[in-house]
């Protein structure tokens, strides 16, 4: 089965790509053997649940990953939970929806993420909070390898699904009109879907992306406020059907230890969020796309520590120079590059594609995907320990933050023009 030519445009783009490879390698009897999102390596079991607040499009929508009770019969959560996400990805790929939906359903429809859906929250500790922002054309569920690892290491992670029309698809719930059949939903609610908005003819991309990143930052701050409300014991109405006990989160978040993290467009969102919200004590930008960041941000608007973790194959000089402009003369702002990695080494797509096709479509780099994500996660944990003042053993990876170790370098691999004399 051939990938439609129009789809190649997307795979060459800024966003995390998706391979339509066969579900198993030749000679294999099990797709799971090859296509498995890695489990968390920390001491905690991991659960996840979805939360959508009221107020329609103005509300919050997120997937929460958290330390869970280990004894549970709960099933693993689906990786892509609704067929409309396949439709959104199809639009993004310039594929007919009916074709794309069938392809995605066949190749990744059975993929789950290694977190137990609605598992009981592990009470008795105060956990630091991490807000996560997805990339362009992505959505809340496809960075589960990162979010699950952070939760397994003792973080509560809120992965926001952005409604600025930068996700391939998302939705909010609204009440059905009287004329519509009620049997489809006992709650009388229906999903109103929002799909990715492509650039209009002649539209200037920077203007659109800057407007979107403003909304994205506000959505990250809303998610922060929402989790803190729940932590304080306030009742929150979840528009989604779920038996998760949100009251179990009361007094479980360490409100003095909060960070923000994101990939690509989400990396730009990290920077905007830091500039707008001082409660974010530090940030981690994974292969950040700097185009959306406003010019005003470079004038000392980001005071908090910031770690740039870049892939070897994605970055270019102008993008790196913007990062350096933001971080110049600040020892709490770091940049490292993972050797052999590509832009798609951060989202889960790298784990659900076979080796040959994964490399062909640049979903996999020369480095093993598990090693690449381990480097990124370990550097992130070391950085978070330092700047959130955590009492953990993450400092064993401090050298990675300085770009020291196998398959990591300090700064960038990109050749930059010589600095102009001041």
Which of 44, 162, 343, 387 is flagged as catalytic? 343
What is 255-288 written as a DSSP string?
EEEEEEEEETHHHHHHHHHHHH-TT--EEEEES-
Which of 19, 60, 90, 264 is flagged as catalytic? 264
395 catalytic residue (yes or no):
no
Sign of CA dihedral 96, 97, 101, 107: positive
* Residue positions counted in the chain: 422
Residue 170 contacts residue 136 (beta carbons within 8 Å): no
| Residue 358, token pair as written in the block | 């994964």
The three-state secondary structure class of 169 is strand
Cα separations in angstroms, 361 against 126, 339, 342, 355: 42, 18, 11, 10
185 catalytic residue (yes or no):
no
Alpha helix ranges (H) inside 297-338: 317-327
Residue 127 contacts residue 255 (beta carbons within 8 Å): no
Residue 261 contacts residue 131 (beta carbons within 8 Å): yes
Residue 173 contacts residue 193 (beta carbons within 8 Å): no
Q: What does the alpha-carbon distance between residue 14 and residue 344 come to, in Å, rounded to a whole number?
A: 9
Which of 50, 254, 287, 374 is flagged as catalytic? 287
Residues near 393 by beta carbon (within 8 Å), at least 6 away in sequence: none
Question: In this structure, what DSSP letter does residue 40 have?
Answer: P
Q: What does the alpha-carbon distance between residue 411 and residue 395 come to, in Å, rounded to a whole number?
A: 20
Q: What does the alpha-carbon distance between residue 38 and residue 111 come to, in Å, rounded to a whole number?
A: 12
264 catalytic residue (yes or no):
yes
Q: Which residues are catalytic?
A: 264, 287, 343
């Amino acid at each position: 089965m051939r990938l439609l030519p129009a789809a190649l445009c997307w795979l060459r783009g800024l966003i995390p790509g998706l391979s339509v490879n066969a579900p198993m390698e030749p000679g294999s009897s099990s797709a799971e053997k090859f296509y498995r999102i890695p489990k968390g390596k920390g001491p905690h079991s991991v659960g996840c649940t979805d939360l959508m607040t009221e107020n329609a499009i103005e509300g919050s929508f997120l997937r929460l990953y958290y330390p869970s009770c280990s004894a549970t019969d709960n099933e693993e959560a689906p990786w892509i939970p609704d067929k409309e996400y396949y439709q959104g990805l199809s639009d993004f790929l310039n594929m007919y929806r009916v074709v794309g939906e069938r392809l995605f359903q066949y190749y990744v429809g059975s993929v789950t993420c290694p977190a137990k859906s609605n598992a009981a929250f592990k009470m008795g500790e105060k956990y630091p909070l991490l807000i996560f922002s997805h990339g362009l054309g992505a959505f809340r569920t496809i960075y589960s390898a990162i979010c699950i690892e952070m939760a397994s290491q003792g973080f509560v992670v809120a992965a926001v699904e952005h409604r600025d029309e930068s996700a391939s698809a998302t939705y909010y719930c609204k009440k059905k009109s009287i004329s519509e059949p009620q049997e489809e939903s006992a709650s009388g609610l229906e999903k109103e879907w929002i799909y990715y908005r492509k650039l209009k003819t002649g539209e200037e991309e920077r203007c659109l992306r800057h407007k979107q990143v403003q909304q994205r930052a506000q959505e990250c701050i809303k998610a922060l406020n929402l989790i803190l409300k729940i932590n304080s014991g306030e009742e929150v109405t979840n528009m989604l059907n779920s038996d998760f006990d949100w009251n179990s989160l009361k007094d479980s978040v360490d409100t003095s230890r909060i960070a923000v993290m994101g990939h690509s467009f989400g990396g730009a969102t990290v920077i905007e969020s830091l500039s707008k919200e001082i409660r974010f004590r530090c940030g981690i930008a994974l292969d950040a796309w700097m185009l959306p960041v406003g010019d005003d941000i470079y004038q000392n608007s980001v005071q908090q520590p910031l770690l740039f973790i870049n892939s070897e194959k994605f970055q270019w000089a102008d993008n790196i120079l913007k990062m350096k402009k933001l971080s110049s003369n600040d020892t709490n702002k770091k940049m490292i590059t993972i050797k052999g990695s590509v832009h798609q080494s951060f989202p889960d797509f790298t784990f659900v594609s076979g080796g040959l096709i994964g490399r062909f479509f640049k979903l996999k780099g020369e480095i093993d995907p598990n090693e690449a994500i381990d480097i990124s996660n370990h550097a992130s944990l070391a950085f978070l320990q330092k700047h959130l003042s955590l009492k953990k053993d993450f400092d064993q990876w401090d050298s990675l933050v300085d770009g020291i170790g196998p398959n990591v370098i300090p700064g960038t691999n990109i050749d930059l023009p010589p600095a102009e004399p001041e």
